[in-house]
Amino acid sequence: MRVVLLFFLLLGSVAVHSQDLNARVQILAPQIPNANKRILDVLEVSIKDFLNGRRWTADALQPQERIDCNFVITITEWDGSSANFKAEAQIQSSRPIYNSNYNSTILNLNDKDFTFSYSEGQALDYSDQNYLTNLTSLLAFYAYIITGMDYDTFSKLGGTPYFQKAQTVLNNAQNAPNLGWKAHENLRNRFWIMENLLNKAYNPIRESMYEYHRDGLDVMAENPSKGRKAIYAVLPQLQKIDKQKQGAILNQVFFTAKSDELINILSDADPQEKLKAFTILSAVDPANALKYEILKRSR
């Protein structure tokens, strides 16, 4: 679990404003001719301030503990004058690895239904209790997902309180006209990400996130062989879940973030381990099967 240091000021203990996310935001509009760049710039700053200016965790995080994340929002439809935007968003987060300069990708999601309304200068109002706007609901939902995923890597199932908050955002949005919140719309949308994260049947995937990072990556600087073995040991667990719940979105979330990293780590394993890893990875993550061929070729 994160180690949280409490700071006491000279004149007594006072509450200190805490920034939980270190979010970078980029808004692109390559398909929109003559897009009003000023509005997009204002929107970009507003989203960044919304994400970075709120408390998403229950802990007072130190600056170095803030969770690094990126939101790249690509506008796909907008007439340049209305307040209605259709967009896609790429949401990524990472966390530092102990005793190294390396940051490991935790989350790498693409949301193709990132639609919202926004007028220049509009305040981004949000409430955990009610659905106010689709934009702030989207941002809060992913802020809680990012936070929960990060906490899962520091303690087993440590992200549950934040996934429950994301579930509340999802529940509040069930009557929204925007896509992505409801079960029947798409088997790969926000609803099913949330269902997997809080479904106990998928807890082994979340527990694997902890073992992968704390028992694996976090010890590799001091003992590469021990860390690599811990990471290798996670693969059969993920394979077991994949066989029981074939095509689970949470498995895909894991491998979308981790496929390149796994190849780099397992390339130094012994030939037999590499071959076994290739067999498992190509079966549970067929989308990246061609990538994993290198493990078979480098024996």
In this prediction the pTM is 0.91
pLDDT, tens digit (0-9, with 9 covering 90-100), for 149-179: 999 999 999 999 999 999 999 999 999 999 9
21, containing H or E segment: strand 21-28
- Rounded mean pLDDT, 236-241: 90
Residue ranges covered by each domain of the chain: 21-198, 205-297
Confidence label for 299 from pLDDT (cuts 50, 70 and 90): low
What's the pLDDT at 201?
92
- Rounded mean pLDDT, 174-199: 94
Strands 103-111 and 84-96: antiparallel
Is the predicted pLDDT of residue 13 greater than 60, yes or no? no
Percent over 70 (pLDDT), the chain: 93
pLDDT, tens digit (0-9, with 9 covering 90-100), for 248-269: 899 999 999 999 999 999 998 8
Two tokens at 193?
A: 């990400």
What's the pLDDT at 298?
58
**How many Cβ atoms are within 10 Å of 75's Cβ, its own excluded?**
19
What's the pLDDT at 2?
52
Higher pLDDT, 57 or 12: 57
- Rounded mean pLDDT, 228-239: 94
**192 and 185 Cβ atoms separated by less than 8 Å:** no
Is the predicted pLDDT of residue 246 greater than 60, yes or no? yes
What's the pLDDT at 80?
75
Is the predicted pLDDT of residue 11 greater than 90, yes or no? no
Confidence label for 193 from pLDDT (cuts 50, 70 and 90): very high
Percent over 90 (pLDDT), the chain: 79
- Rounded mean pLDDT, 68-97: 94
Confidence label for 128 from pLDDT (cuts 50, 70 and 90): very high
Closest CA relative to residue 187, chosen from 259, 107, 250: 250
- Signed CA dihedral, 98, 200, 113, 118: sign only: negative
What's the pLDDT at 59?
86
Closest CA relative to residue 188, chosen from 111, 281, 263, 102: 111
